């Protein structure tokens, strides 16, 4: 599909509150066939999501993710119970929480690094076409950062669904959280 048609379709699905604030942009190099063009998203005229350079924090290693104090990992009672069973109950309660958090953040770090690497290798146009052909639920549940973002700015995702996925968004990449917060703020207006 041609970029102009794809852009038109993506914009037709934008939430009314974000129309004019979120833009899909593309550059191409007509006389340099070996130089690929870029597709990116801008919010309020600022380039926010570019496949290779973004204003949002990118993590280089799993250790960097584990040591980031801004990452909030919610731990459920079931996860603490699983650690208790695995350790045969000989560990103090406060240590169980530390172990459960450590296990969960290790899992989270691996998923986040994988999602980042797939984004930098992916093609915006291919992912955008995929978004247009699958359901909103699939896009929101996907591990693909770009699918999550496109779904969050979509008008088919209403207030109730946005509020219902708030906990899940805490475990997503910071750029997905940025677009979630952007959409959340449009609901309160």
Quote the pLDDT of residue 79: 87
How many domains in the chain? Answer: 1
The answer to the question of residue 146 being in a domain is no
Three-class DSSP category at 6: helix
Domain limits for position 88:
62-113
Question: Looking at per-residue confidence, does 178 or 48 come out higher?
Answer: 178
The answer to the question of residue 8 being in a domain is no
Question: What percentage of the chain has pLDDT greater than the value 90?
Answer: 27
The answer to the question of residue 108 being in a domain is yes
Quote the pLDDT of residue 121: 37
Alpha carbons 15 and 23: distance in angstroms, whole number:
12
Quote the pLDDT of residue 118: 56
Quote the pLDDT of residue 119: 58
Alpha carbons 5 and 88: distance in angstroms, whole number:
60
Both tokens of 93, joined, read 């309660």
The answer to the question of residue 68 being in a domain is yes
The answer to the question of residue 100 being in a domain is yes
Shortest CA distance to 169 belongs to which of 139, 146, 140, 189?
140
The answer to the question of residue 163 being in a domain is no
The answer to the question of residue 103 being in a domain is yes
The answer to the question of residue 142 being in a domain is no
């Amino acid at each position: 599909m041609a970029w102009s048609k794809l852009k038109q379709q993506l914009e037709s699905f934008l939430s009314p509150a974000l129309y004019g604030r979120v833009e899909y942009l593309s550059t191409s190099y007509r006389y340099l066939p070996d130089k690929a063009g870029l597709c990116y998203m801008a919010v309020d005229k600022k380039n926010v999501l570019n496949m290779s350079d973004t204003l949002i924090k990118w993590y280089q290693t799993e250790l960097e993710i584990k040591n980031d104090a801004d990452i909030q990992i919610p731990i459920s009672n079931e996860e603490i119970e699983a650690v208790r069973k695995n350790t045969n109950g000989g560990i103090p309660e406060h240590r169980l929480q530390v172990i459960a958090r450590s296990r969960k953040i290790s899992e989270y770090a691996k998923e986040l690094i994988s999602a980042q690497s797939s984004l930098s290798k992916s093609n915006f146009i291919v992912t955008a076409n995929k978004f247009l052909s699958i359901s909103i639920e699939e896009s929101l549940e996907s591990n693909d950062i770009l699918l999550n973002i496109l779904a969050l700015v979509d008008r088919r995702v209403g207030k109730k669904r946005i509020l219902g996925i708030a906990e899940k968004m805490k475990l997503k990449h910071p750029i997905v959280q940025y677009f979630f917060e952007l959409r959340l703020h449009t609901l309160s207006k």
